[in-house]
Structures are given as structure tokens and as C-alpha cells.
């Protein structure tokens, strides 16, 4: 089972605020903590002491702290990649290499005596991971995570994201991607337009970003890149991540009847395997509610994403629930009872025949 994560940036906040955020995330079952130590400005001892205090607190909650570092920091702290005792003493669960070495070093680092995890960048699209694998790393200690992108329009395109993720999936390595909170206000740098891995996620609701990553089947762990997400966002993210089935939001039509509401929202829907290009069919509602009337209403022509229920004039199909995948003419036998919410319309592409899903009213 994958893990949920948050990010904290101790040098840009206070211990008390980080502590409160860790408590809140822990309450909702979040396990991972991402933080960065890319450079140390000012009093080195003081910076590291403050940093360790936050790491210790996260560890006390049984959370796992991943510290983002770059090779320059190894030099600044006079640390060798052969000796990771510094990070062990700090209490880090693992270190994320912001910029990698040549492959041999990373493989050696995965064999450290402390079991410290080595997390590498998944977003470059090079043969970096293949190179590391050629040096026989301990794969239990090798993880991958995508970058996050504070600059609008600089995030990963979906096809590139898939290409990169599959390189790691091939080796059964743990994968992670970042999503973006809309209540959070800061990250590791002064300027940010949110901190997500996929550009398409930047303006989406947090739960929708999570549903998408889960549906891709490519990502194990999901972390919020910016701080601090609201309690409502943390709760919605945990619900979306831990759901047994994906749930799509529906904007309901004004004319919807109570029986139709029951069809849509009180049932687990199953996408029929003998799929059509035009409609996604969930047929069991016509069996469960065969004795309900389903009078005709809202029988206008259909467009992609419309949620449909066959009415009384459709004979044995009366009460069947469908989602329009293409635009279609309506001869009066189909009630248009709602529409998949605009921001989740793209998720239709990720529902597979024989899969199950739920619908919920978009409030």
C-alpha cells in the first residue's frame, strides 16, 4: 500500500508551525515528510540543530523524513557518499539526490549500513536508473520521485510522466509524485505557482490530482509539495487515496428524480467489459430498480461526459446508468440527469472496462 506525504521547509517557517502541521498530517494517516537541505546559509550548527529538531519530532510520530540534498551540500558539510552517518545521526529516513552522481555512487549508497533510503529523480527521462541498476544496488533502499515545478507551465507533460515512470516500474522500484495544495503559500524558494509534478494538475482540486495519479497505476506514494495544506485538503486527499474505488464528481441536472439520484449515488458502478465507443454502461441499476417508473425528462441531445439513465420508453433498458463518451442524438428515450464535473472529465479516459467506480454529487 502506498503512502501519503507532506512537505515542510524549516528554514522558511517556525518549529511550532511545522509541529502543528505534522500533527495534522499524522491525524489523517500521512507517513512521508519531504524537506530540503539544498544549501546552508548562516550559522551551520544552528541551522542543523533547528533542522534536526523537526526531524526528531516527525520521527516521534513514526513518520519518514526524506531530505532533499545536492552534491554541493556534501562538499559544504564535508560528507562523503561512502559515509552516510551524518544523515543517520540526523534521523533521516532517506536522502533524495536533487542532482545525481554517475550511477556507481548511488548503487554504493544503497548499501549503507544504516538502511538509509536513496531516492533519485524520476523526471529526467534519461537512462539514469538503468545505469544505477547496472551497478547492482540494494533495490530495497532505492526509491524514485518526480520533481515538482514551481514555475507555471514548466511541469511535466503527461506522456513524458508516463515514459519516466515506466522506467522505474520496470524494476519494481517505489515511485512518488507531488501534488499541489491551493491553501499552501510557500515552498523551498521565494517564488512558486504551486508545487506539482504534472503541469495539468496545477489548478485542479487536490483530491482530483490524487485520483488521477492513483488511476494511472504508476505511482505508489503521493506528497503535497507546498506548505501548508489545509485540514480539509488533507482529509480529502486521504479519502481519495484510500478509496476502494475511484469516485467521479457529477453536476446534477435540475430535473433529476429521487429514483435517479439513488441509481447514481447509492451504487457501486461497474464498467461493462463489452465496451462501446459511445457509452460507458453500468447495467445493474436496471436490474435493481426494474420496478421504478423512470418517466422521460431532459431528453435533449447528449455530449461527452453527460450522465444518462434510460427512461421508461427504452423497454428492458429502463433504469440503466450510462456516461456519454461521445456526442449523440437523443430520440427521447434517454434522460440526461447530470454531467461529470468539468475538472474531472479527463478521468473518464482512465476508467477501464471491468473496473468499478462511484459517482458523487458535486457540491
Q: What is the predicted pLDDT for the residue at 76?
A: 85
- Whether the pTM exceeds 0.85: the reply is yes
Which residues form the domain of 61? 4-243
Residue whose C-alpha is closest to residue 224's, from 190, 175, 164, 184: 184
Of 218, 243, 268, the position where a domain reaches its end is 243
258 and 342 co-located in one domain? yes
- Are the C-beta atoms of 170 and 149 separated by less than 8 Å? no
69 and 180 co-located in one domain? yes
Q: State the pLDDT confidence band at 143, using cuts at 50, 70 and 90.
A: very high
130 and 181 co-located in one domain? yes
C-alpha pair distances (Å), 298 with each of 19, 265, 285, 320, 330: 53, 19, 19, 16, 10
Q: What SS3 class is residue 357?
A: strand
Average pLDDT over residues 118-140: 96
Query: Which residues on adjacent β-strands are paired with residue 336?
Result: 308
| pLDDT > 80? residue 41 | no
- Are the C-beta atoms of 276 and 293 separated by less than 8 Å? no
215 and 193 co-located in one domain? yes
Average pLDDT for the chain: 95
Give the strand pairing for 64-69 and 32-36. parallel
Of 221, 243, 265, the position where a domain reaches its end is 243
Number of domains into which the chain is organized: 2
61 and 200 co-located in one domain? yes
- Are the C-beta atoms of 295 and 312 separated by less than 8 Å? yes
Q: State the pLDDT confidence band at 45, using cuts at 50, 70 and 90.
A: confident
221 and 279 co-located in one domain? no
288 and 228 co-located in one domain? no
227 and 115 co-located in one domain? yes
102 and 194 co-located in one domain? yes
Of 208, 243, 278, the position where a domain reaches its end is 243
9 and 69 co-located in one domain? yes
User: 211-230, pLDDT tens digit by residue?
Assistant: 999 999 999 999 999 999 99
| pLDDT > 90? residue 288 | yes
Sign of CA dihedral 292, 298, 299, 302: negative
CATH number at 279 reads 2.40.100.10
Q: State the pLDDT confidence band at 190, using cuts at 50, 70 and 90.
A: confident
Q: Which three cell numbers stand for residue 355?
A: 473496473
268 and 220 co-located in one domain? no
Residue whose C-alpha is closest to residue 201's, from 230, 184, 180, 182: 180
Question: In the chain, how long is the greatest CA-to-CA distance?
Answer: 78
- Are the C-beta atoms of 94 and 117 separated by less than 8 Å? yes
Q: What is the predicted pLDDT for the residue at 40?
A: 78
User: 226-279, pLDDT tens digit by residue?
Assistant: 999 999 999 999 999 999 999 999 999 999 999 999 999 999 999 999 999 999
Average pLDDT over residues 114-138: 96
Phi/psi for 154 (5° steps) reads: -100, -5
| pLDDT > 80? residue 39 | no
CATH number at 219 reads 3.20.20.70
Concatenated DSSP letters for 192-257? -S--BSBGGGTTS-HHHHHHHHHHHT--SEEEE-SB---HHHHHHHHHHHH-SS-EEEEEE-TT--
29 and 138 co-located in one domain? yes
Amino acid at each position: 500500500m502506498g503512502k501519503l506525504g507532506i512537505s515542510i521547509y524549516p528554514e522558511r517557517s517556525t518549529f511550532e508551525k511545522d509541529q502543528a502541521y505534522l500533527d495534522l498530517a499524522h491525524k489523517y494517516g500521512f507517513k512521508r515528510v519531504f524537506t530540503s537541505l539544498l544549501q546552508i546559509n548562516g550559522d551551520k550548527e544552528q541551522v542543523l540543530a533547528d533542522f534536526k529538531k523537526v526531524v526528531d519530532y516527525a520521527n516521534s510520530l513514526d513518520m519518514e523524513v526524506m531530505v532533499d540534498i545536492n552534491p554541493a551540500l556534501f562538499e559544504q558539510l564535508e560528507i562523503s557518499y561512502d559515509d552516510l552517518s551524518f544523515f543517520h545521526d540526523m534521523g533521516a529516513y532517506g536522502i533524495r539526490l536533487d542532482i545525481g552522481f554517475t550511477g556507481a555512487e548511488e548503487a554504493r549508497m544503497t548499501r549503507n549500513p544504516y538502511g538509509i533510503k536513496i531516492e533519485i529523480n524520476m523526471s529526467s527521462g534519461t537512462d539514469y536508473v538503468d545505469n544505477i541498476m547496472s551497478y547492482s544496488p540494494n533495490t530495497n533502499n532505492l526509491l524514485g520521485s518526480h520533481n515538482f515545478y514551481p514555475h507555471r507551465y514548466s511541469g511535466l507533460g503527461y506522456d513524458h510522466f508516463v515514459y519516466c515512470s515506466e522506467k522505474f516500474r520496470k524494476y519494481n522500484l517505489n515511485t512518488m509524485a507531488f501534488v499541489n495544495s491551493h491553501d499552501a503559500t510557500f515552498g523551498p524558494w521565494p517564488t512558486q505557482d504551486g508545487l506539482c509534478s504534472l503541469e495539468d494538475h496545477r489548478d485542479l482540486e487536490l483530491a482530483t490530482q490524487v485520483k488521477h495519479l492513483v488511476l494511472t497505476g504508476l505511482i505508489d506514494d503521493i506528497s503535497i509539495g507546498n506548505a501548508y495544506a489545509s485540514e480539509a485538503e488533507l482529509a480529502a486527499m486521504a479519502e481519495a487515496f484510500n478509496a476502494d474505488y475511484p469516485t467521479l464528481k457529477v453536476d446534477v441536472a435540475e430535473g433529476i428524480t429521487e429514483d435517479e439520484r439513488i441509481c447514481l449515488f447509492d451504487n457501486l458502478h461497474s464498467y461493462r467489459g463489452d465496451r462501446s465507443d459511445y457509452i460507458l454502461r453500468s447495467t445493474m441499476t436496471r436490474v435493481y430498480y426494474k420496478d421504478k417508473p423512470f418517466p422521460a425528462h431532459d431528453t435533449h441531445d447528449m455530449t461527452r461526459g453527460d450522465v444518462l439513465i434510460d427512461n421508461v420508453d427504452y423497454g428492458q433498458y429502463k433504469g440503466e446508468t450510462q456516461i456519454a463518451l461521445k456526442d449523440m442524438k437523443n430520440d427521447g428515450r434517454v434522460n440526461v440527469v447530470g454531467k461529470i464535473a468539468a475538472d474531472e472529465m479527463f478521468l473518464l479516459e482512465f476508467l477501464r472496462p471491468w473496473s468499478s467506480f462511484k459517482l458523487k454529487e458535486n457540491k
